[in-house]
Amino acid sequence: MTNLFAPSSQEEVARILDVLTFGELEIEGRLVDASNLALLGQLELGDVRTRVIYKPVRGERPLWDFPDGTLADREAAAFVLSAVGGWNLVPPTVLRDGPHGPGSVQLWVDAVEDATATLVNVVKPAELVPGWLPVLEAQLADGTAVVVAHADLPELASVAVFDVVINNADRKGSHLVLDEFGSLWGFDHGVSLHAEPKLRTVLWGWAGKALPEAELARLYALSGWLSTPGSPVSVTLERLLTAAEIDALSQRIAGLLATGRFPGPNSRGPAVPWPPL
């Protein structure tokens, strides 16, 4: 089954959110490559049927660096910020009850096979495509020298900004895909929005560069909404994150606006997830 939706307008997103929230959830199977319990399901509401990924809170593996039972909230908060900020990177996501209890339910995206390699890749140094931005040199277990690199695309630079905003602790290449219309989507935002700096990403290629105007504009707008008590985004985030996490979010945005530049890695931990794809 392919998805009926390619959420391209606000009205369509609103319609999808209705289906995600109120549709009847039926489990189809389990995703074996997930680090937490991630179930593939179908949702039906009226004459609409669509595929989703459902991550029950109960199936979240405890992590040393994130509070227990909060990953689904972070998935939902990442969607809210992606939508309100206009990044439109995270597929529509809601928090709701399901056959295995409350969890996040996210629209399934039919990814074009192998498209990730046109965005992020690990290659031998001699195979680095001109125009790609190298991020990290490494050695595989068998001694082969490789480079982690990504394309120099404005859509990816936009993801890099989004990841700074949500403090994404795990932006791997495989979590970035293209759909058949060429739209870029990002998944797996459960380990984000912590109050402490934890940015870990493959997208460091623009570190120190000036932020594009379009990014500054959305950051400015978002900081306005966040500093307005009672604004829809503030009210929604208050249900999903702690006050300290919301405060840190506002500070990260303020930091980006103050410097006007993409940040570089800090020294607190590995800056690139491994494996990077």
Ligand X SMILES: Nc1ncnc2c1ncn2[C@@H]1O[C@H](COP(=O)(O)OP(=O)(O)O)[C@@H](O)[C@H]1O
> Can you give the binding site for Mg ion, defined by CB under 5 A?
35, 188
Of 175 and 198, nearer to ligand X (C-beta) is: 175
- Omega before 275 cis (within 30°)? yes
Tell me the window of 101-109, 143-151, 204-212, 225-233 that interacts with ligand X (CB under 6 A).
101-109
Biggest CA–CA distance in the chain, Å, is 56
Q: Determine how many CB atoms are found less than 10 A away from the CB of residue 60.
A: 20
Question: Residues binding ligand X: what is the number (CB under 6 A)?
Answer: 19
CB of 93 to ligand X, least distance (A): 8
Do the Cβ atoms of 262 and 160 come closer than 8 Å?
yes
The nearer residue to ligand X, 155 or 179, going by C-beta atoms, is: 179
Query: Can you tell me whether residue 5 is helix, strand or coil?
Result: coil
Q: Which of 60, 275, 55, 273 is closest to 169 using CA atoms? A: 273
Residue 65 or 247: which CB sits closer to Mg ion?
Answer: 65
176 sits near ligand X (criterion: CB under 6 A) = no
| CA-closest candidate to residue 5, choices 79, 91, 87 | 91
The residues near 126 (Cβ < 8 Å, ≥ 6 apart) are none
Residue 121 binds what, of Mg ion, ligand X, none (CB under 5 to 8 Å, by partner type)?
Answer: none
Q: Interface with ligand X includes 109 (CB under 6 A)?
A: yes
Question: What residues does 51 pair with on adjacent strands?
Answer: 42
Residue with Cβ nearer ligand X (120 or 211): 120
Interface with ligand X (CB under 6 A)? 31, 33-36, 38, 53, 55, 91, 106-109, 111, 174-175, 187-188, 190
